[in-house]
Amino acid sequence: MSIILKNVTKTYKSREVETHALKGISLEIKEGEFIVILGPSGSGKSTLLNVISGLDTPTSGVIKFKDLVLTDLSEDKLTEFRRNHLGFVFQQYNLLQNLTALENVLMGSDIGKDPLDPEEILKKVGLENQMHKYPYQLSGGEQQRVSVARSVAKNPEILFCDEPTGSLDEATSKQVLEVIERLNKELNATMVVITHNPGIGAMADRIIKMNSGNIEEIIINKEKISASQIKWG
């Protein structure tokens, strides 16, 4: 198993106002699973990603990764945990503009304990002919695929994707999702994708539907569809 959450809460305080972003979340994410966390803006889905991944600490509850209790770790140990076990893909590509696609991906592999070959990963994401180009020479979809490749090159056990297609059109989004789908199958990496787009949920093993800080429903997809078959919107 990958990650277990038990009664996890997150409360933000601003003067006299308290915002309960997570309200007692219990969840298990299994190794190699493709999970989509779905919900509207303000539902708590990004907060959930942040506490699962150690980018933020919960107000209460327990989070375990294998035998490691993340909620007991210091900030330094959480940083080490993220570096050794996790990869991240965000809506913004966050590529270094003065480095080529290959050099950006090399930055990911350089911090991995058991890294993958950067050129091979760029081939897997369909960019074998673009690896020596700079970000400004690539389309938005190609830049996002470089971002995915950079995260995967460190060989993470879990890849967290926060609205990875949020700034892309439908056709380009499906290309990026096909890459994430393929890497999940070929590398057996656990994928956790945050989105407000219900169509993306159809390609997941499970859909975690969030609303107002709660898990509203968990849907198991007995028959997943491929990224190319997604109904967009």
Mean pLDDT of 89-105: 92
CB 91 within 8 A of CB 167: yes
pLDDT tens-place string over residues 187-213: 888 999 999 899 999 999 999 999 999
pLDDT tens-place string over residues 126-151: 999 999 999 999 999 999 999 999 99
pLDDT band at 90 (very low <50, low <70, confident <90, very high): confident
DSSP tag of 117: P
Give percent above pLDDT 90 in the chain.
Answer: 68
Q: Nearest-CA neighbor of 144 among 179, 187, 188, 171?
A: 179
Q: Give the integer Cα–Cα distance in Å for 183 and 180.
A: 5
> In this structure, how many other beta carbons lie within 10 angstroms of the beta carbon of residue 118?
23
CB 207 within 8 A of CB 36: yes
* The one-letter amino acid at 51: V
pLDDT in the model for residue 1: 56
pLDDT band at 233 (very low <50, low <70, confident <90, very high): low
Residue 101 has pLDDT above 60, yes or no: yes
Mean pLDDT of 34-54: 93
pLDDT in the model for residue 212: 95
pLDDT band at 44 (very low <50, low <70, confident <90, very high): very high
Task: Tell me the pairing of strands 34-38 and 190-195.
Answer: parallel
